[in-house]
Amino acid sequence: MKVSREQMAENRRRILDEASRLFRDKGFDAVSVAEVMKAAGLTHGGFYGHFDSKNDLVAQTLAHVLALDAGGGNLHAYLDAYLSPKHRDNAADGCPTAGLAADIRHQTTAARVAMTEGLRSQIDRISAALPGVKPADRRRAAIGTWAAMVGAVILARAIDDPVLSDEVLEQTRAWIDAGISSASVS
């Protein structure tokens, strides 16, 4: 039975969504193509109708999930959600940058290009969410903010002390707020 274009597109989206969740939860190397297809509710045999290889799946998954991972116009609300215990404790549905950045250097050029484009987009989104910051300082503030946010989540996930983990998130938020306030136009 032939599958419609619409169903093919829906199947592909499900594969990308499940691959993204599994990669963020377990890492690229710990997830098999068969596991992704099973999670998407599809047979392993259908994989090659969508992707050339697992490396192709990795690159396309990154492009897909990074396009969905938007900060948004309300930076304070985004900071609250991002630098929270809920986000820290939910890697599978959390930020793909915090979940996968360390592993990207071991991936293909296409995967690194997808991460690069995702980083550019996130810097642009954060820059746009900083209207009170002097234009000359906006990009620097956006890069520093994003780097601090991602780093804080990575560190908060890596340690076994819940009090220190919470403190890393809280103090990073306070540090970002102070930095944004000092860079604002008077």
Q: Residue 174 belongs to a domain with what CATH number?
A: 1.10.357.10
Do 32 and 104 belong to one domain? no
Do 49 and 125 belong to one domain? no
Burial 61-86 (b: 16+ CB within 10 A, else e): bbbbbbeebebeeebeebbeebbbee
Do 177 and 91 belong to one domain? yes
Do 56 and 78 belong to one domain? no
The CA-CA-CA angle for residues 127, 75, 149, to 5°, reads: 85
- Single residue among 43, 64, 85 that ends a domain in this structure: 64
pTM of the shown model = 0.87
Over residues 22-67, the pLDDT tens digits come to 999 999 999 999 999 999 999 988 899 999 999 999 999 999 998 8
Do 85 and 99 belong to one domain? yes
Do 84 and 128 belong to one domain? yes
Task: Give the DSSP letter string of 73-100.
Answer: S-HHHHHHHHTSHHHHT-GGGS-HHHHH
Higher pLDDT, 98 or 180: 98
